[in-house]
Each structure stands twice: as structure tokens, then as C-alpha cells.
Amino acid sequence: MTGTTDRDISTAEETGAHVSLAELALAFLKLGTIAFGGPAAHIAMMENEFVTRRRWLTREQFLDRLGAANLLPGPSSTEMAIFIGYEKRGWRGLLVAGTGFIVPAAILVTAIAAAYVRYGSLPRAGGMLYALKPVVIAIVIQAFWKLARSAIKSTWLALVGVAAGVLYAFRWHEVLILAMAAGVAAGPYFYRRWKRSRALPVAMLAPLTLGPGLLGTASVTATSGLWRLFLVFAKIGAVLFGSGYVLLAFLRTDLVDRLHWLTPQQLLDSVAVGQITPGPVFTTATFIGYLVSGVPGAITATVGIFAPAFFFVAASGVVIPRIRRSPLAGAMLDGVVAGSLALMGVVAWQLGRAALVDLVTVVIAVLSLILLLRFRVNSVWLILAAGAFGLVYRG
């Protein structure tokens, strides 16, 4: 591979080491407990934990799974956890890693939901989040820098990434952007074929339609109760692409406007809980499930919204190594990876504008970045320190 270093070769050899199911469980339980900041931050922490520190995957393996996760509907960071588990221990690892990443947040959200039902308001976490957000930005920047150095193998791929970032900033749909990035990245492959054969091949691409048939509200045919709750969230998990704001739109259509299970204020509070707790943002479903039907509802909604991610990863996990063996498919996957990193970079910029609100937050972000890049401090300690500082400084 172009640009491969001695360190990459060493890392690649070490990723064959056996990883027990217990190690997988503990690693993802820890990550699910401290992973604040949304999908971009989660993926950054996974890169640091499983590529840099534990060396369970090479950076190229990680990037390939990141590209695939961005092409699948559902929670991308949870799908990355599932991909890593599948890579290390097959379908058992898939279940253990994904569940380990989800469970801590689901338990915490259930506890918050119980307090919400009893007291009618959310706990205050503003001080802690004030200091945590700049640290999250530093973690994302660190991961983006390391991943980009491996993913951007040519000037052409750099241009593909820049174009993808510009389109995403103008709110093009991310799946359409990634599909275009794949096609454009394959351009040099077709050009080389043309130079050899002197006949330009014609590539036929199936049209990509992302209209009401995909993103609209599907009807739920179950009669009532927990089964209906499961189907509502399984449908959302199976078709949802995009950020927490897209999730908000889906939930409002189904749960407020159509089913009348929540009030608009309860929906906003539910999304807020998903944002302020660690782990997957999709644990918003856990909170809603508890409001609708207590602990059984929380479990049902959580299983429903995450179940499609396990299915999609299991179905696609065996395909990625085969893609890399095809020059054309490998070139297209490189484009998807470059586009995925561009999306991550734009999200980091947007988060940074919201997080760096004064001199203190800027100093926290800069110090965190220095500690991460120069001294390689574990991000866990930075998160714990920032949370404690925020509680004291703004508590």
C-alpha cells in the first residue's frame, strides 16, 4: 500500500493477536461510560483506543469500517463498535462490543427518565458540559489528523475530500455525497484503463434516490403495546441517515404528530438527554420508551432502534475484505473513506463553533490538544478532569 510505514506494518502484524470476549466487553463498557460528544467524538475515541493504544486494528482497517458505517443507516459510532467486535471475534464479538457500548448509556438514561417522570424536569449538567465540549473538540481534531494522514493517499483523494466537505457544509445529503465521492475517486482507475486499452470504459451507476420512499414515515401495523413500540423504533433505526437533528424530525413525526405518545416538550427533553449523556445519541429512544411504558418500554425501544445496526453490520462485515481485493472497488472505498473524513471535519468545525464560546473554553481545547498530540495523554483522564473542573467552575 502506498505510504505504508514500518510502524503500520508492525501494527498490522500485531492486530492478529487474540482478543477475548471479556476484553471486548470491558473495553466497550468503559468507552460507553465516558464517550461524550456525539458520533464524531466516539469515533475519535475508538481510533485512539483500538488503533493507537491497543492496536487491535490497523488504521486502514479502521478507515474501511468507518466508510462502511457512514454508508449504512443507523448510529454510525455504534456501528463502528459492532464492526470492531465482528473483526476481532466474529458474530459473538459483534454482539458483545455493540451491547457493551450501548448498555452504560441506556442504564444512565433510564435512571434520568425515572427522575424526570418523578420530578418533571431534567438534572442540570451545564457546568460539566461547558468544560467537556472543548475536550471533545480536541479529541476529534486529534483523530481527524491521524486518520487523514493514512486515508488521503493522493492529491486526487484530497480534492475528493475537500469537495465532499464543501457539499456537506451546503447541506447535501451525506449518502449522496459519499456515493459521488466513490464515483469520482474511481476516476484515475478508469483513466489508467483507458490509457492501456485506448478505449474509455462506460460506467453505469444506478440512480440514488433519497426521497419520501426512504425518509418518509412508514406505517406501523402492530396492534398496540410493546410490540408496536418496538416496530416504531426499529423502523427509525433501519432508515435514518444523519445527525441527531434528523432523529428529532423522525421522532416528532411518529411520536408527537401521528401517535400522540409525547408532547413537544417531552420530545425536546428526550433529545436533550441523548445529547448530554455518554454513549450513543440514539439512547434518546431509551428515554422515550421509559416515558411510554416504564422499564419494559425503555428496554423495548432501545432494542428496537439498535437492532437494525447489528443486522446491517453482520450482513456487510464479510464484504469489506473482498472489496479491498478489487482495484475498482478498492478505489471507490478510498473515496468513501475520504468523504467520511470530510464529513467528520465539517462536524468538528460546527461543534467547535458551539463549544468554544470564551477564552476559558479555547484554553481548555488548546491544552487538551497539546496533551493528546505531544504527550499522548489518555483521553479518559482529560474527560474526567474536564468534567470535574466544569462542575467546580460553573456548578
Q: 193-210, pLDDT tens digit by residue? A: 887 765 444 443 333 333
Tell me the CA distances in angstroms from 7 to 12, 47, 372, one per residue in order: 8, 16, 19
Question: Beta-carbon neighbour count of residue 60 at 10 Å?
Answer: 21
Joined grid coordinates for residue 265 = 416538550
pLDDT in the model for residue 222: 37
In the chain, % of residues over pLDDT 70: 86
pLDDT in the model for residue 364: 95
Written as tens digits, the pLDDT of the chain (395 aa) is: 344 344 433 433 445 568 999 999 999 999 999 998 788 889 999 999 999 999 999 999 999 999 999 888 888 999 999 999 999 999 999 999 999 999 999 999 999 999 888 887 777 677 887 888 888 888 889 888 989 988 999 999 999 999 999 998 898 877 788 899 999 999 998 888 887 765 444 443 333 333 333 333 333 333 358 999 999 999 999 878 755 556 777 788 889 888 999 988 888 788 778 877 888 989 999 999 999 999 999 999 999 999 999 999 998 877 887 888 888 989 998 999 999 899 888 878 987 888 899 999 999 999 999 999 989 888 878 988 988 998 899 86
Question: Beta-carbon neighbour count of residue 196 at 10 Å?
Answer: 8
pLDDT in the model for residue 245: 53
Q: How far is the C-alpha of 294 from the C-alpha of 389, rounded, in Å?
A: 34
Tell me the CA distances in angstroms from 320 to 36, 53, 64, 326, one per residue in order: 29, 24, 7, 10
pLDDT in the model for residue 385: 92
Q: How far is the C-alpha of 191 from the C-alpha of 78, rounded, in Å?
A: 37
Q: Is the dihedral of CA 147, 151, 154, 160 positive or negative?
A: negative
Burial class of residue 78 in the structure, from the number of CB atoms within 10 Å of its CB (0-12 exposed, 13-18 middle, 19+ buried): buried
pLDDT in the model for residue 368: 93
201-223 burial code (b ≥16 CB/10 A, e <16): eeeeeeeeeeeeeeeebeebeee
What are 317-331's pLDDT values in tens digits?
A: 778 878 888 889 899
